Amino acid sequence: MRRELLHTPEGVRDIYNGECDKKQRIEQELHQTFLSFGYHTIQTPTFEFFDVFNREIGTIPSKDLYKFFDREGNTLVLRPDMTPSIARAAAMYFGEETMPIRLCYAGNIFINNNSYQGRLKESTQLGAELIGDDSIEADAEILAMAVECLKKAGLEKFQISIGHAGFLKGLMEEAGLNEEQEEELRELISNKNFFGVEEFIGTLEIAEDLKELFTLLGGFYDSPKQFDKIQKKAAPYQKSASALAYLKDLHEVLKLYQAERYISYELGALSDYHYYTGIIFSGYTFGTGEPIVKGGRYDKLLKYFGKDAPAIGFAIASDQLLAAIQRQKTEITTDKDYQLLLYPKQLQKEAILKAQELRKNGALIELLCMDETKSKEDYQAYAGRTGMTKITYMDGE
């Protein structure tokens, strides 16, 4: 056998034994939290037509997609992002619905990252989408649910950073930036190069107070009260001022959920997905360099699929969440009590009947015929490797 057949391609991995059990346990907790908020499960295909994720939609660049063709010559892609798939399905099946639609999902996404980034190319996402509600209460519900999910998963220390797409958008419009300049500025902010932002803004012929607002994009705040002075400076710029006022009102609703201690604010918040129109948020904890949760409001996305409806949602990266929990030494209980039932060949019938009876009562039984060449210590070591909590020997006495 060729040795390379035993290895996975770059960017994907096997998950097995206890790690797989723990990952599934976390995902069960997240799904149960979605259900507790009244969300309904939906499944969408692993691959879709290319147009569901094209440049106009605002998802990841085409070069990062896994593309292939069907028999009819249509270009298909493995989904890199769940939200456009959910938007397409909502437009198709709930097109005439005027009341809010609450949907939740779990599935794998596929992004052809550059190898030097060290990221998984296949990962699992669980998330929720609230469609048809543009209220501040909807935004608060989604954020509160994201907080509750991370707590249920076992995290104690984490922070969700919130920004508003309207703040930066308003500043760029007031500065009269063209598309190329906007892209350059977004890249600087995305790379956290705020010295570069200051240098870039210095080349523009704009009002000094507007320049000062641009330089504040790197700020982080525990509460909207901390940017009262910024709001006064932004008062002449309606879109940016409205975004700040919205964040202050949102904070008051989040306090009703008792979620505010996990919330901070980032005026320069950006996303790789360009379809966000309102709040944008990312959740972080120590033990991982990547966000464990990402989301935001996308009020124009469903128009591409024929349903003009506002929406907001988020996705949790369960692989990164599990890695963070394990690095923080938090115990994950799986509630799986595996038992090993060992028997000699002459007691095969009795062993099978006993195993069947135990399984009917909910036990998790592995049945194994004993090999005379193996010792009791061998079986004990095997049980330890495979997570068995109990060994029962049928010795015929």
What is the predicted pLDDT for the residue at 396? 54
Per-residue pLDDT tens over the stretch 358-367: 999 999 999 9
CA distance 200 to 14: 45
CA distance 64 to 54: 11
How are beta strands 390-393 and 338-343 bridged, if at all?
parallel
- Please tell me the class of the 3-327 domain: alpha beta
Mean pLDDT for 92-120 is 89
Q: Residue 97: pLDDT above 80? A: yes
Terminal CA-to-CA distance of the chain, rounded, Å?
Answer: 45
Q: Residue 116: pLDDT above 80? A: no
Q: Which of 355, 381, 321, 359 is nearest to 120 (CA)?
A: 321
Could you tell me the two tokens for 148?
């509750």
What is the predicted pLDDT for the residue at 27? 95
Mean pLDDT for 41-57 is 93
What is the predicted pLDDT for the residue at 3? 66
Within 10 angstroms of residue 235's Cβ, the number of other Cβ atoms is 12
Three-class SS string for 118-165?
CCCCEEEEEEEEEECCCCHHHHHHHHHHHHHHHHHHCCCCCEEEEEEH
Per-residue pLDDT tens over the stretch 172-208: 999 999 989 999 999 999 888 999 999 999 999 999 9
CATH, domain range 338-393? 3.40.50
What is the predicted pLDDT for the residue at 397? 47
C-alpha 278 chain-centroid distance: 18
CA distance 66 to 271: 21
What is the predicted pLDDT for the residue at 108? 97
Per-residue pLDDT tens over the stretch 367-389: 999 998 999 899 999 988 888 88
C-alpha to C-alpha distances, 87 to 11, 58, 299, 313, nearest whole angstrom: 27, 13, 11, 11
Per-residue pLDDT tens over the stretch 226-279: 888 898 899 999 999 999 999 999 999 999 999 999 999 999 998 888 899 999
Contact 272, 60 (CB under 8 A): yes
Q: Residue 95: pLDDT above 70? A: yes
Per domain, the residue ranges of the chain are 3-327, 338-393
